[in-house]
Structure 1
Amino acid sequence: MANLNDSVRAALDACGASGYEGPHATRTPLTGEELIGTVEHTANDVDQAIAKAQAAFREWRNIPAPVRGNVVKRWGELLTEHKRDLAVLVQAEAGKSMSEAMGEVQEMIDICDFALGQSRMLWGKTMPSERPGHRLMETWHPLGVVGIISAFNFPVAVYSWNTALALVCGDTVVWKPSEICKLSAIGADALLARAVKDCDAPADIHQLILADRAAGEQLVNDPRVALVSATGSTRMGREVGPKVAARFGRFLLELGGNNAAIVAPSADLDLALRGVVFAAAGTAGQRCTTMRRLLVHESIADQFVDKLVAAYKTLTIGDPRDESVLVGPLVNKASFDKMQNSIAAAQEQGGTLLVGGKRVLEDQFADAYYVEPAIVKMPSQTDIVREETFAPILYVMTYTDLDDAIEVHNEVPQGLSSAIFTSDQAESEKFLSASGSDCGIANVNIGTSGAEIGGAFGGEKETGGGRESGSDSWQAYMRRATNTINYSGELPLAQGVKFL
């Protein structure tokens, strides 16, 4: 294989990145070796970035939305041109297969298409007024500076969801990426800078911060940041939400997921098998939508679990630069340790490890952490099952009655993604009803991962309640004003009030 840093440097150069190199290096999960180092921004740099974005907002908000849309259109064109370059950076930092890294960049391209169309549809409603000669309507206006804090597992896609919509809505952006995914951030930001320049838009509408957690705290606490969109753990969300709320700012939280699927007796088991394996083992279990719990009807449990264990034994594990590999590395040793601790806790709570859980390739990669995806059969939903472990562990349980399965499904603090595999329409409708899944995403006959751009993405309960990407999620980046226009020549008051 080609030298990793040579490939990274070539990808950065192709994206047009410059001035990024510095002493602060991170390790790639692929091999454990150090990647090219970057600069580290100071607290003063963060302050200046927010100030620049605030100043640019005053101009950007007055540019017509369809004209603002041209910037994301051009960004999408450049992302298409440099799709593989950016995917190389994502793979190097997040440890994804090239197929998944390319898919992540495709999400960026797709949201640019979506946002371009949205730039002509930032519409409000017109309502009938109770007063004659009056018109009642609502308008939507740009919100201000949007602070984005993103996570390592999707280092560029979720950022782009926020950025593309924020820009067409007339906001400016300050982005603080994960400390371990700075190079992919530099590449993505460089392509956006090229798009801004090509469209003759204000240069400071996007700002990139390369720094540690303290920089994120600055974004959270700064009153100039109108909206903080943060992706990460529930623990992080507990800190971010109250701090932003205390200064009456807005926040959009995309937090933990403890996603489950139900496999009903009528399910197409071959289809369910493929859906479960990808959702549970793909990306080495490091998606927020990774399937972590599986509820299988007792009448088919032995048959289906045997198929599942057999499928797990065929998974190819290794350096995902080899395109035959399906499962890449965990991001670091801390993730590996958490996985081992969770498996041990599950066994202490009555679980049986059916397959996987071991570290592999340690002779080849002493500083990288490759593991076999694990399946643990549990007697019930114990404390460890209610927790999210960001690793490829699938807890399997059985059920007798669908209502009981849904109750167990919902009996966790998180509420992001969910699925049912069934050929019974009544079962699928119940799962999607108000008394069914309590998650923000509920699927039928597909797994818990693999959301499309057109649907709003997010979850309930400790997942944070935020919505990103499609549908009407653009409204989170704007402020609403209700307008009353009086063209009657008179001054009647609402509700028939008499004053003079």
Structure 2
Amino acid sequence: MTDTTRPLAAQARDILLSLGIAADRIAGGPLRVVSPVDGSLLAEAATVSAGEARERIGRAHDAFLEWRSIPAPRRGELVRLLGEELRRHKDALGRLVSLEVGKSPSEGLGEVQEMIDICDFAVGLSRQLYGLVIQSERAEHKLTEQWHPVGVVGVISAFNFPVAVWCWNAALAFVCGDAVVWKPSEKTPLTALAVQALFERAASTFGGVPAGLSTLLVGGRDVGEILVDDPRVPVVSATGSTRMGREVGERLARRFARPILELGGNNASIVTPSADLDLTLRAVAFGAMGTAGQRCTTLRRLIVHESVRGALVSRLIGVYETISVGDPLTSDALVGPLIDEAAFTGMARALDAARAVGGKVHGGERVNVNGPGSFYVRPALVEMPGQVGPVIEETFAPILYVLTYRTLDEAIALQNGVPQGLSSSIFATDIREIERFLSARGSDCGIANVNMGPSGAEIGGAFGGEKETGGGRESGSDAWKAYMRRQTNAINYGRTLPLAQGVKFNVDGGSAQA
């Protein structure tokens, strides 16, 4: 186990070397990897050239051509072995997530557990890739639908969940018969190197895995563009900002490739007069401040009924004033660092914009932890006069805007009145309020929770959202269908040739009729 008292760079190096990653991959490369915990340099990672990227995509395509013929339950065995490697190295990988992203040890371990959970889910799925038998309108005909592997799946992941998002996609893609090419965030390449090493260990135990089935492309935007534009990649899952997703989606549309987009989330919670305020307080605190506000499902808008606003907001202000902010690796602080200076600048700009339109800001100031190279902030609670200015946008930082409503229809209109549509929630004990929120006239988001915040999605449900969130779905339910191609089969087992829709077509020497 790594000595956690050593410098962060030494800890990261210990973990990577223990997994068999060559020293030259993390020293002397052009990509500087900085820990947000203290601003120190963790490594200088090697990157791939444009030519190397295209060559690796080609190897992935060749691997797919072989892997697609392996029976799906056998493919599931590889994912089971990957899950075992993740269990075996959970502590080390979780620590590396904390070093590279600035998450608390609990959240770092939780992210790896999420990977283990999706592996378990995918193993079971490998025996449940079901098709359909459909009733044919023609006598002595059978109509069926089946699913086949689609090809190479590109995965572009963001810094905030540097390994779990890859696993959401890769575990399903592998059991579906696909190869995977992964372009991680340039802010978090070390965790990607570690995961690739664990996959290779699982593949070695499995035996016979085609080279290139899981491929890693470490680099910048240019490498991502190569992946998005390559015609050998029919599906690309991209997680990040709406701006990035709009560019990716347009490029994929030009070649009729399939996007799975997981983009911005300007998530809201409605607090009704019937809400349990003690439960609400705890849920709001975690939803708005967990992971320093750097989750796509972070709570960013709190829509509170006027009758309970005073009681709830006064208590929330007290929590915001006393919440612990500090080094997540050496303290029990609940709020760790922002990823970098750009995130801090974006937060400061949003708070200035809120003040300019009449917002009252509580908190939001920078906190001196570990010197000038790191960016810690006190979470901000902002009482707004309405849903205006920066409230409409997603700022990837711990800012919670508080709005007031009188009727539930008004609250739902506020909830839905932003371009994003990822997650939402309602706090209520009145069943009519709850069911109204969950109805077709309620939340327009891909996720709608009751008596909990908008974050904390479980593996079993499909994850994703609507509108500018991109419409993609990953993880559970039937999200596996995005990684396969659908084929409809009509089988004539009779001796005549009836045509559909009653069409008649007679030719010399025979006839075809309804």
Pair 1:315-2:323 in alignment = yes
Q: 1:14-93 residue pairs with structure 2 within 5 A?
A: 14-18=18-22, 20-21=25-26, 22-23=28-29, 24-93=31-100
Q: 7, 19, 25: which one pairs with 2:11?
A: 7
1:448-475 CA distances to partner (integer Å, 9 max, x unpaired)?
Answer: 1100000000000000000000000000
Counterpart position of 1:399: 405
* In 2, Cα distance between equivalents of 1:302 and 1:313: 17
Question: 1:247-290 CA distances to partner (integer Å, 9 max, x unpaired)?
Answer: 01111100000000011111110100010000000000000000
- 2-structure distance, mates of 1:187, 1:326: 26
Aligned residue runs from structure 1 range 191-340, under 5 A: 191-200=198-207, 201-340=209-348
Are the equivalent residues in 2 in contact too, given 1:127–1:135 (CA < 8 A)?
yes
TM-score relative to the length of structure 1 = 0.98
Structure 1 contact 254–464 (Cα < 8 Å) conserved: yes
Q: Distance in 1 between matches of 2:18 and 2:477?
A: 33
SS at match of 1:299: helix
Residue 462 of structure 2 is matched in structure 1 by 456
Matched to 1:372, the amino acid is R
In structure 2, the partner of 1:171 is: 178
Structure 2 Cα separation of the partners of residues 300 and 263 of structure 1: 8
What's the offset of the Cα at 1:323? 4.6
What does the per-residue CA deviation read over 1:278-310, in whole Å, with 9 as the maximum and x for residues that have no partner?
000000000000000001111110110011111
Partner amino acid for 1:314?
Answer: T
2:336 is aligned with what amino acid?
G
How many percent of aligned residue pairs carry the same amino acid? 58
- Distance across 1 between alignment mates of 2:87 and 2:424: 31
Tell me if structure 1 keeps the 8 A contact 2:366–2:376: yes
Matched letter for residue 234 of structure 2: A
1:180 paired with 2:187, answer yes
Q: Given that residues 59 and 211 in structure 2 are in contact (C-alpha distance below 8 angstroms), is that contact kept between their aligned partners in structure 1?
A: no
Does structure 2 conserve the Cα–Cα contact (< 8 Å) formed by 1:15 and 1:85? no
RMSD: 0.9
Local SS of the residue matching 2:425: strand
Please say if residues 15 and 82 of structure 1, whose CA atoms lie closer than 8 Å, have aligned partners that are also in contact.
Answer: no
Quote the residue 2:375 is aligned against: 369
User: Is contact 1:417–1:441 with CA below 8 Å preserved after alignment?
Assistant: yes
Paired residue for 1:435?
Answer: 441
CA distance in 2, matches of 1:331, 1:487: 62
After the TM superposition, list the runs of 4 or more consecutive aligned residues in structure 1 that deviate by more than 6 angstroms: none
Q: Equivalents in 2 of 1:25, 1:348: separation in Å?
A: 37
CA contact (8 A) 1:149 1:178 kept: yes
Hey, what does 2:118 align to over in structure 1? 111
Q: CA deviation at 1:121?
A: 0.7
Distance across 2 between alignment mates of 1:84 and 1:235: 35
| Aligned 1:474-485 pairs, distance under 5 A | 474-485=480-491
CA contact 1:14–1:85 (8 Å) conserved in 2: no
- 1:351 equivalent to 2:355? Answer no
Which amino acid letter does the alignment assign opposite residue 12 of structure 2? V
Contact map agreement 2:462 2:478 (CA 8 A) in 1: yes
Give the 3-state SS of the residue equivalent to 1:272 in structure 2. Answer: helix
Give the Å deviation of 1:359: 0.4
d(CA) in 2 for partners of 1:180, 1:389? 18
Aligned length: 498
TM-score norm. by structure 2 comes to 0.96
Where structure 1 has 5 or more consecutive residues not aligned to the other structure, the ranges are: none
CA distance in 2, matches of 1:312, 1:454: 33
Q: How far apart are 1:322 and its partner, in Å?
A: 2.4
The one-character-per-residue Cα deviations of 1:215-240 (angstroms, maximum 9, x if unpaired) are: 00011111111101100000001101
**C-alpha distance in structure 1 between counterparts of 2:45 and 2:114, whole Å:** 26
Q: For the residues of structure 2 that align with 1:323 and 1:254, how far apart are their CA atoms? A: 32
**Secondary structure in 2 matching 1:16:** coil
CA distance in structure 2 between the aligned counterparts of 1:357 and 1:338, rounded to whole angstroms: 12
* Paired residues of 1:197 and 1:203 also in contact (CA < 8 A): no
Q: What secondary structure sits across from 2:236 in the alignment?
A: strand
1:68-88 CA distance string (max 9 Å, x none): 001110000110110111111
Q: Quote the Cα distance in structure 2 between the aligned partners of 1:350 and 1:325.
A: 31
Corresponding residue SS for 2:339: coil
- Equivalent residue of 2:440, what SS? coil
Q: Which amino acid aligns with 1:218?
A: I
Q: Is the 8 A contact 2:260 2:473 kept in 1?
A: yes
Following superposition, the deviation at residue 3 of structure 1 comes to 1.5
